[in-house]
Structure formats: structure tokens, C-alpha cells
Amino acid sequence: MDIPTAANVLGTMGAVCWSIQLIPQIIINYRRHHAIGLQPSMMMLWAWAGVPLGVYNIVEEFNIALRIQPQLLTCLSLITWIQCYYYNKHWSIVKTLYVVVPIAVLMAGLQVALIVALRIARDRHIQWPMTLMAVLSAVLLAAGVLRHYVDIVKHKTVRGISFLFVALDAAGDLFSLISVLFQTSVDVLGLVIYGSELILWLGVFAAGGYLNLRPWLKKKYGKESKTAEREGIGAVDGNPSDDAQEANNSVALHDLPSSTSVFRTASSDTGVSRMRGTHTQPTDAEA
């Protein structure tokens, strides 16, 4: 389909999603001061995936939004990647800058060089370098998500990753996928790049629902039903509920000399009994 307006609108929507997709993850890491469960290798693979993806989208002269997407992906991925070392490895800010800045400069320089080289190859009607860029970006993006699948299988839970981030990334993939369909000519490799990652993120959603949400709901509603059943039985039998008994016990303990102590020993109980006996036995004068 050749609908440039639709392609630009959808591409822009995808770019917006990709622009903010990692921001929730970055904020979560900042607030909890750790990135446990988040795979730094995933973030680095994504950062490198933005290089060939940017080359491909720019040389193929996609709309502006799709050209910006890979640059944002690389930038945000590098920030998230270095957070893993800053919080988990306790790197200093200076050390993180010494590491991440040269990597960013290397990626930018490599992308510029590849854009120039592949434009020359395209003018000479050599297509395999473009195919290589598309395949390489798709492989790196998929490998990044698959790295998190390894963690899911290992720990039997989806941990360390923001589901809002997953939702935004999946939405960005979906909008970008549809945007490619509205280009002048449908690009199969572009469909593969966005489609493969969309499928993988849907798998993460499914795993989160099964491994995280289902046990949580089961525990929550199971606990509520047990509490209601326990209270109902107590009311029928004429016995106070556990909460009421606990309240009565706490009140009764205030009458004891050791009521402020959490622990009670046999000797303290014996002492209390003796004190009670002393108070209840009449003296010789009273007799």
C-alpha cells in the first residue's frame, strides 16, 4: 500500500513508544536502587541492534520517525545497561562515564561509516549488505529478549523487568510493523524485524501472567476465602475469631508483670503463679 500519511502517523506513534519504552525501567531502577533480574547483556545487545537497524532504515529512506527509532533505542539501552553496573556492581559515576561514553562514540562512528558504505553499495545495485544489516538487527533484538527468557526459565518467574516497558515496546513494534505495510513498497525484512520482536514480547507477557499474576491472584483470593470461612465458623460456634482472641490475649498480658516482653519462659510463668498465690492467700492476721 502506498499511503505516506498513514505510514508517517503510524511510524511516529511507534517512535513515541520506542522513545519512552525504557524510561519506566530506568525510573524503576533509580527508585529501588538496584537492577536485580534485569539482564545487562540484553540491554547491550539492544544497544548494538540499533546500529544496523539505524543504517537499514536510513539507507532505505524510511520516514523520519523510523529513522529516529534506532537512535533512541541505542541511547536508552546504554543508559539502562550502565545502570546495572552502577547499582549492582557499585560502580562510581566517573567509572560509568569512562565506560559508556567510548562505547556510544564507537557505535555512532560505526553507524555513520556503514551508512556511507551501504549507500555506495546501493548505487552500484549491491543488495546483500542491506540484507545483512536487516538480519543482524533482527538477530540482536531477538537475542536480547531471548536472554530474558533464559532468566525466566531459570528462576521460574518474570523478574527485574517493567511490564509497562514491555507493553510500550510491544506497542512500538506493532505500530512500526503496520507503518512498514503502508510504505510505497512492502519491505519483508522490515516486517520480520518488528514482527519477531513483537511475538517474543507477547511471550514474556504470557509468562508473566502464568508465573507471576496467576499465583498472586490465587494467593490473594485463597487467603480471603480462608479468612471468611474461619470467621464464619467462629460465629456459628460462638467462639471469637482469631483476631478477637489475639486482642483478648494482648489485653490479658497487660495484667502480667512481664507483659512488655515478647518472650515468656517457664520461670516467668512460675513467678507469676507465685505472685498470684501470694495475693490470694489470706494472712494470719486476716484469718
Question: Is the per-residue pLDDT at 275 higher than 90?
Answer: no
From the list 54, 52, 64, 61, the residue with the least C-alpha distance to 11 is: 64
Question: Is the per-residue pLDDT at 161 higher than 50?
Answer: yes
From the list 41, 11, 39, 45, the residue with the least C-alpha distance to 25 is: 39
Query: The whole model's pTM is what?
Result: 0.67
From the list 145, 127, 2, the residue with the least C-alpha distance to 63 is: 2
The one-letter amino acid code at 276 reads R
| Residue 150: φ, ψ to 5° | -60, -45
**Tens digits of residue pLDDT in 210-227:** 888 888 888 878 766 666
Task: Using DSSP, state whether 157 is helix, strand or coil.
Answer: coil
Written as nine digits, the cell of 31 is: 527508585
Average pLDDT over residues 30-43: 88
287 confidence band (pLDDT: 50, 70, 90): very low
Length of the chain: 287
Written as nine digits, the cell of 41 is: 547483556
From the list 190, 181, 187, 184, the residue with the least C-alpha distance to 2 is: 184
The one-letter amino acid code at 156 reads K
Task: Give the pLDDT of residue 155.
Answer: 85
Summary mean pLDDT of the chain: 78
Q: Which residues of 14-42 are buried (b: 16+ CB within 10 A; e: fewer)?
A: bbbbbbbbbbbbbebbeeeeebeebbbeb
Task: Give the pLDDT of residue 197.
Answer: 83
